[in-house]
Copies of this chain bind each other. A is one copy, B any other.
């Protein structure tokens, strides 16, 4: 049997169906399917993807010959259904020619609309529609599109102007008009003539008037576009084989601007903003699709209730509404009835909220497109849970329906949509910590605290932040920095606090001395208002109104569903009882990373800490540490109490010591006075702590090993707190974590100090608590030698921030100089500090987990880097078989959802 190359569809019948995506492409299969379920779509036919391969094997002529009969046959079917004839001046059929591959390749290949027009057809159509402007505009667009796509009328060089655009500019200049819409019918006729002249000049041939020549030219152009540079690059990046080929869809054009019985519109089967189950949409009578969205005419509501609500908001009287802006339900009741029935049918068929485009041509309804509609985070959750309750989808599907990242919207304030529309963007940075915030500009922590205490909302603006800024960051509504990436200090701390942050706004100039900032040609002073969108990275001038988001019952039900399917537990990174509490509310089942250094920055503590650091002897350090011990112990008690019954992984002191000492003369002099030593002594000691590359310096367990007394103090504080709570009847599960291990002996030495100190403490107290000792895996060498380390370590926690830094050799504070270029050049698919790099860093995570468990099969493995809250990274952690991920409190729901999805997918 001869191979079938052309599949027709139309009038409720189709030769293809949804499952034939490989042969008909996504679009072709979908058009067939819609026909089969009784949705009226303009008739047409699909040339299969196999023909694309034949095209490249046998060449153009051979393939056209093979197709000719089938295409003619299919075309006459379309003519019959549309009651119009291709190329007929009196009653012409126009068609679109579109590509459609097996996998979606948006914008990669070419499309031609309005095919079938020539001077004769234009004349006939003008007569038929009485709308010469529409017809001539369609014609000049067709000539331009066809010239570009099929005849290769492209600019010669990348930076040269498009030859047609040059002509348009010249004509507009000659006519003295600025907008395309100001062009008259005569102008459009002149443009078209000039376009054709340009084609003749450049290609040496006339623009084809023969509509069949047009059709074959377009079909072949679509096949050709399968091998254009963009498409090849796209396939390479997405791993799509060239042999898949593209199908070609030829479909009748329909027009909503054929008079008062024609219309066009867009509709959603449910409310995309709130998720409410009501049919919403907008339409315009006697209009083209683009008119609805272009904002030239005011679109009308589809449903009567929608229309009434709209009028009320817009302050329009019921009389005026009914007269000037009637709903489709009122103006075209019969068509509305069809539309409503069909939208329900489509939603039921696709089992999801649909976003539909339709056109009414002379009283006949056509669907042009349907797809799952984009929606807000809140709508996403509500629709999924509603569909589940309605029995349309099952639990797993409901879980899969929510994009994890969209959950953020439910947990953070958002800008008021209307207010946002009027706001002016000042500059843009990285979307470092989601949410919306506005307030007065302050440039340092003290000012932030003072103004906030006085009841003002402030935004803290810094070149970059450091631990000294913590109090100010806590007092501020949001944080804006000029430098630093997604895992800069500002970003990490802000996410931990659930506070909005835009980091690394490269164009922003912060002038501390002058107390002002400059960006986008504007200079703002301290006290001026700005607003931040931490979900997009945008910074707005002035105060943009925000509204609080409140997770609701649907959210809780979704989370409960997640827990039913997940395998990966979700813990949190939290350093304070407040964060820990928030995280427990969000469902965290433990703390995966409790950093202790943040605890050292308040009053007495920072002073004792500095004494410790600046001490010249072990005894001096011990004395200072003894002062810190009771504070630390209290801090841990607070956290342990909140996390009663849950494991809490406490990381021993990690950052380089110079982060704790003052670097300015004034503060150094003050410290010298307090400590009773000379200023020079302090200055020299501080200078001696300076490091060329602090990220690779004396920190982590390198500190604990050179100053074991610090580890001893911290062990006493952690286990002392646990013993105190045991006495109160509170259960604790402390896990002591050694940071920055790179060598098995390095861990063993620290483990020894910890176990020895614990034994001493238990002896002294006459009581004991169970605890674990494990390590961060954040140095490549630790991953490479994980089998040796697991000999002693009871758990691994992957610190993927540092692991990414070391594996790539990137300093997260310095990547702004090349990362944007790398993302642009597609050298990197994503910021590796945001999305875990599977090939490199992920390989180490997998290797370390396997090596570790080869020695200790019950080794508990988790991740506590920023990736622990990024959905695709969480899914990777699931596939590697980690036991848990740990992320900042506000990312806990995101991680729970991603973890559940990973379990369902896998």
**Cβ contacts under 8 Å, A813 to chain B:** 691-693
Interface string of A792-821 (1 = CB under 8 A from B): 000000000010011111110110011001
- Alpha-carbon distance A659/B280, docked complex (angstroms): 62
Residue contact B808 to A742, C-beta cutoff 8 Å: yes
Output the residue of A781, A813, A821, A843 with the most chain B CB within 10 A.
Answer: A781
Shortest CB distance A474–B (Å): 23
A817-836 toward B: CB 8 Å interface, digit per residue (1/0)? 11001100111100000000
- Do residues A814 and B706 form an inter-chain contact, with CB atoms below 8 A? no
Q: Is A181 an interface residue (CB 8 A)?
A: no
In angstroms, Cα B744 to Cα A839, docked, is 11
The proximity string for A residues 703-737 relative to B, scoring 1 for CB distances below 8 Å and 0 otherwise, is 00110000000000000000000000000000000
How far, in whole Å, are A785 and B780 apart by their CA atoms in the complex? 14
- Name the one of B740, B784, B827 contacting A743, with C-beta atoms under 8 angstroms: B827
Q: Residues of B contacting A694 with CB < 8 Å?
A: 692-693, 811, 814
Shortest C-beta distance, A746 to chain B (Å), equals 5
Any B CB within 8 A of the CB of A337: no
A: contact size bracket: 35 or more
- Which of chain B's residues have a CB closer than 8 A to the CB of A781? 807-809, 837, 839-841
Is the CB–CB distance between B814 and A705 below 8 Å?
A: no
A698 proximal to B (CB < 8 A): yes
**Shortest Cβ distance from A506 into B: residue:** B688
Does A193 count as interface, using CB distance less than 8 angstroms? no
Residues of B within 8 A of A817 (CB): 691, 697-698, 702, 706
Mark contacts of A732-756 with chain B using CB atoms, 8 A cut-off: 1 yes-contact digit, 0 otherwise.
0000000010110110010000000
Instruction: Please indicate the chain B residues that have their CB under 8 angstroms from the CB of A743 in the complex.
Output: 808, 822, 827-828
For residue A844, CB closer than 8 A to chain B, the reply is yes
**Residues in B whose Cβ lies below 8 Å from that of A702:** 817-818, 822
Copies, count: 2
Q: Is A779 located at the chain interface by the 8 A CB criterion?
A: yes
Residues of chain B within 8 A (CB-CB) of A841 are: 781
Within 8 A of B (CB), among A680-706: 691-698, 702, 705-706
Other-chain contact of A811, B696, B818, B839 (Cβ < 8 Å) = B696
* Mask of A767-789 contacts with B, CB within 8 angstroms, 1/0: 00000000000111100110010
A827/B696 contact (C-beta < 8 A), A781-B808, A781-B840 known = no
User: B705 contacts A825, CB within 8 Å?
Assistant: yes
CB-defined contacts of A745 to chain B, threshold 8 Å: 825-828
Assess A809 versus B840: contact at CB under 8 Å? Given A693-B693, A749-B825.
Answer: no
Within the complex, what minimum Cβ distance (angstroms) separates A673 from chain B? Answer: 25
Closest Cβ–Cβ distance, residue A880 to chain B (whole Å): 15
Which residue of B has the minimal Cβ distance to A828? B743
Contact across chains for B746 and A809 when beta carbons are under 8 A apart: no
The complex places the Cα of A860 from the Cα of B844 at a distance, in Å, of 26
Residue-wise interface mask of A (839-868) relative to B, using a CB-CB cutoff of 8 A (1 in contact, 0 not): 111011000000000000000000000000
In this complex, the member of A691, A694, A779, A827 whose beta carbon has the largest number of chain B beta carbons within 10 angstroms is: A827
* A828 neighbours in B (Cβ, 8 Å): 743, 745
When distances are taken between beta carbons in the complex, the residues of chain B under 8 Å from A814 are 691-694, 696-698
CB closest residue in chain B, given A837 = B781
Contact present for B839 and A809 (CB under 8 Å):
no
Quick check: A822 and B705 within 8 Å, CB to CB? Answer: yes
Q: Given A692-B695, A698-B818, A814-B698, answer yes or no on A843-B784 (Cβ-Cβ < 8 Å).
A: yes
Q: Pick the contact of A693 from B695, B808, B822 — CB < 8 Å?
A: B695
Q: List, in ascending order, chain B residues with CB within 8 A of A810's CB.
A: 696
- Among A779, A841, A843, find the residue whose CB has the most chain B CB atoms closer than 10 A: A779
A555, chain B: closest CB distance, angstroms? 38
Q: How far is the CA of A822 from the CA of B805 in the complex (A)?
A: 23
A825 to B840, CA, bound (A): 32
Q: What's the least CB distance linking A756 to chain B, in Å?
A: 15
Q: A785 contacts which of B695, B698, B779, B839 (Cβ < 8 Å)? A: B839
Q: Which of B778, B821, B839 contacts A706 (CB 8 A)?
A: B821
Instruction: Give the complex CA separation of A806 and B827 in angstroms.
Output: 21
A809 touching B818, Cβ below 8 Å: no
Given contacts A695-B809, A706-B817, A780-B807, 19 further A-B pairs with CB under 8 A are A691-B811, A691-B814, A691-B817, A692-B811, A693-B694, A693-B696, A693-B813, A694-B811, A697-B814, A702-B818, A705-B818, A705-B827, A749-B827, A778-B809, A781-B807, A781-B839, A784-B807, A785-B843, A806-B806
- List the interface of chain A (C-beta within 8 A of B): 691-698, 702, 705-706, 740, 742-743, 745-746, 749, 778-781, 784-785, 788, 802, 805-811, 813-814, 817-818, 821-822, 825-828, 837, 839-841, 843-844
Q: What are 29 pairs between A and B in contact, CB < 8 Å?
A: A691-B811, A691-B814, A691-B817, A692-B694, A692-B811, A692-B813, A693-B694, A693-B696, A693-B813, A693-B814, A694-B811, A695-B696, A695-B809, A695-B811, A696-B696, A696-B811, A697-B817, A702-B817, A705-B818, A705-B822, A705-B827, A706-B821, A745-B827, A745-B828, A746-B822, A781-B837, A781-B841, A784-B839, A784-B840
